[in-house]
Amino acid sequence: MKQLITSLLLIGSFLPFMAQAQAPVAPQTSVEKYQAGKHYQVIAVPVRTANPDKIEVNEVFWYGCPHCYHFEAILEPWAKKLPDDVDFQQTPAIWRPAMEVHSRAYYAAKQLNVLDAMHPIIFKAMIDEKKALSNENDIAALFVAHGIDDAAIRKAYNSFSVQSQTRQADARVRSYGVQGTPEIIVNGKYRVSSNETGSQEAMLSVASFLIEKERQGKGGKK
């Protein structure tokens, strides 16, 4: 009997340790590679995207911005490799009246299906050649110099469609809360700037991270 009591006491003394050893360990919360407020900003009120079925990536730029001009060299190849579930867009910023001219030039080129050709030409004219391109005549002259009909570019530049798209772009950029150019907006929810990432290359890394974050929210399918 004494031996039985001793055995029970020994077992009882080990029970707390056994329970502790078998207790499930609470999973640790993983820290995301990039964090809101540090590497990117969350837009307070999400902005509607062009195609809700896709993850939109929208670059906000200005033709007179040297940083935007240099960003093109890494942005273009990155954008071309984006999966089919990503919709790459660009939005010209308007801080002052002269920038509206450049915005209309962008949408006029797009309407005439010459954006791929004229986009780098407009950048080069403003940054490398120091041309102001401050009015319709300047824009028309540049387009004509590169084979676009004068009447065609003027018609597109003054069209209701181009003026409407320019107004929408201005409203969109204001809704994003853009602080400068270039900036990348991911799915109308997140704003990425080199001021926070530290470099333009890092901007694309953060954008890729946010694209995947949105993809997982949609079910993870590309």
**Residue 218: pLDDT band with limits 50, 70, 90:** confident
pTM (predicted TM-score) = 0.84
Beta bridge partners of 169: none
Per-residue pLDDT of 174-194, as tens digits, reads 999 998 999 999 999 999 999
Mean pLDDT, range 191-207, rounded to an integer: 97
Topology agreement, domain 48-93+180-216 and domain 98-177: yes
Q: Delimit the domains of the chain by residue range.
A: 48-93+180-216, 98-177
With cut-offs at 50, 70 and 90, classify the pLDDT of residue 221: low
Superfamily of the domain at 48-93+180-216: Glutaredoxin (3.40.30.10)
Q: Convert the pLDDT of each residue in 78-100 to its tens digit.
A: 999 999 999 999 999 999 999 99
Domain covering 98-177, topology: Glutaredoxin (3.40.30)
pLDDT digits 0-9 by tens, 98-140: 999 999 999 999 999 999 999 999 999 999 999 999 999 999 9
